[in-house]
């Protein structure tokens, strides 16, 4: 089956076409600056990358061009050749525990959830509607970033705030990166042959940890919004909320301004004063830049705190899994973090950890917790969920 995996942003549309069940990537690419001056798209096919500049008025333009390119490249014979489209949708509220075929009701619900996911759900919905317009007969599936975390118990997801905030306004922890953490849980089950107790560490520009037991999420570090948890590239992670009105009173900023500061001007960018990119920070850290040393030490401590918390929650951990840009590529972050757990007998095999592009175990034989690097693949997870749902319907 030919399944298109889609991630629509406010001015972008990323796609990967998979052939399932073979998990083969046929073609991938991105449409950028949709609705803005200078729009263009790139397509990767057969090891080549093409880039074309073209006016993209809206997402529907992008979908039309994409489908026509797929036909011109002889990847598809006609629009009907595409079997299904899977969409990344950031917020599924507490309605969606799993991916779902998009009906009119589902579309309305995603719209209803916009106040909970104001930065992402409108764009995700635009993507869905554009594909519906061009491909009205082809099934579409929503894959929610929050869904995997819906197995958390109320003891994990409630905040200690007035109960009517939860009852009337749905204020609770939702968690994000669920598609990535689900991929890790699924892949680890495939590799080991059974469900183990796992702490999945998705360390990218945005980052979260997820405690997984019996293949299900027990707790995760992001919260009501993707701002919570530990320090990230430009996001603060957990801070005392009293800071917000105080800064507003001092600077004259609005609440949106301060939230923007916490989302875009904080985290490693603020602490290092250099960059939000871990590669830059590592370089400066190794050159003994004091701000970057402090930033790195804080980053590691904050993640270690969450790891310790989840180790206790799981009553012991079998596997710590590193994934996403930093988790997959930074042997320094992995080493500094795992060294914090030496006292518990968790040990890295330095040689394995230092290998470029490693995927697999990086702990020693006698390590009390096994440590693994596993590249995430959210696009494939979206395509697999779509494939499974569409086949179930048949």
Query: Which residues sit at the interface with ligand AMP, rule CB under 6 A?
Result: 204-205, 233, 277-279, 282, 324-326, 329-330
Nearest to 146 by CA among 158, 157, 131, 162: 157
DSSP annotation of 344: G
Between 322 and 387, CB nearer to ligand AMP? 322
DSSP annotation of 150: G
User: Looking at the DSSP assignment, which residues form a beta bridge with residue 13?
Assistant: 8, 31
Nearest to 379 by CA among 176, 177, 180, 139: 180
Which residue has the CB atom at the shortest distance from ligand AMP?
A: 325
Q: How far is the CB of 116 from ligand AMP (least distance, A)?
A: 22
DSSP annotation of 361: E
Q: How far is the CB of 325 from ligand AMP (least distance, A)?
A: 2
Nearest to 62 by CA among 35, 26, 80: 35
Query: Does residue 306 contact residue 228 with C-beta atoms inside 8 Å?
Result: no
Between 86 and 233, CB nearer to ligand AMP? 233
Q: How far is the CB of 77 from ligand AMP (least distance, A)?
A: 35
- Catalytic (active site) residue 145: yes
Between 177 and 196, CB nearer to ligand AMP? 177
Alpha-carbon gap, residue 204 to 323, rounded angstroms: 8
**Could you give the strand order of the β-sheet that contains 140-144, starting from the edge strand earlier in sequence?**
48-53, 40-45, 24-32, 13-19, 2-8, 84-89, 140-144, 100-101
Between 7 and 140, CB nearer to ligand AMP? 7
Among candidate residues 81, 83, 98, 145, the one labeled active-site is: 145
Tokens linked to 198: 């796992």
Alpha-carbon gap, residue 131 to 148, rounded angstroms: 25
Between 82 and 270, CB nearer to ligand AMP? 270
Q: How far is the CB of 376 from ligand AMP (least distance, A)?
A: 8
Q: How far is the CB of 2 from ligand AMP (least distance, A)?
A: 26
- Give the residue numbers annotated as catalytic, written as ranges: 145
């Amino acid at each position: 089956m030919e399944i298109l995996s889609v991630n629509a942003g406010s001015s972008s549309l990323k796609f990967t076409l998979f052939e399932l069940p073979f998990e083969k990537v046929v073609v991938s690419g991105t449409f950028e600056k949709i609705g803005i001056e200078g729009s263009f798209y790139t397509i990767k096919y057969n090891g080549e990358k093409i880039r074309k500049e073209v006016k993209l008025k809206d997402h529907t333009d992008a979908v039309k061009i994409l489908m026509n390119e797929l036909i011109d490249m002889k990847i598809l014979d006609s629009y009907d050749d595409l079997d299904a489209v899977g969409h990344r949708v950031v917020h599924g509220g507490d309605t969606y525990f799993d991916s779902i075929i998009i009906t009119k009701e589902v579309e309305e619900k995603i719209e209803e959830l916009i106040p909970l996911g104001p930065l992402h759900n409108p764009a995700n919905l635009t993507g869905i509607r554009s594909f519906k317009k061009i491909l009205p007969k082809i099934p579409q599936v929503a894959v929610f970033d929050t869904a995997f975390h819906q197995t958390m118990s109320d003891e994990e997801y409630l905040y200690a705030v007035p109960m009517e905030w939860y009852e009337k306004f749905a204020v609770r922890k939702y968690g994000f990166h669920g598609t990535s953490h689900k991929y890790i849980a699924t892949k680890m089950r495939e590799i080991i042959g059974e469900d183990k107790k796992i702490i999945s560490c998705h360390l990218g520009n945005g980052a979260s940890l997820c405690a997984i037991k019996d293949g299900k999420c027990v707790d995760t570090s992001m919260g009501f919004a993707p701002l919570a948890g530990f320090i990230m590239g430009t996001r603060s992670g957990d801070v005392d909320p009293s800071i917000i009105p105080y800064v507003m009173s001092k600077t004259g900023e609005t609440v949106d301004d301060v939230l923007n500061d916490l989302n875009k001007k904080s985290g490693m960018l603020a602490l290092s004063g250099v960059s939000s990119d871990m590669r830059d920070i590592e370089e400066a850290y190794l050159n003994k830049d004091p701000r970057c040393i402090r930033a790195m030490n804080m980053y590691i401590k904050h993640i270690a705190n969450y790891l310790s918390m989840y180790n206790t929650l799981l009553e012991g951990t079998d596997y710590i899994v590193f994934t996403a840009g930093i988790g997959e590529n930074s042997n320094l972050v992995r080493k500094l973090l795992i060294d914090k757990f030496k006292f518990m007998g968790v040990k890295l095999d330095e040689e394995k950890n230092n290998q470029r592009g490693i995927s697999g175990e990086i702990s020693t034989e006698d390590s009390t917790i096994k440590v693994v690097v596993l590249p995430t693949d959210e696009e494939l997870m979206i395509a697999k969920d779509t494939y499974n749902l569409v086949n179930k319907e048949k």
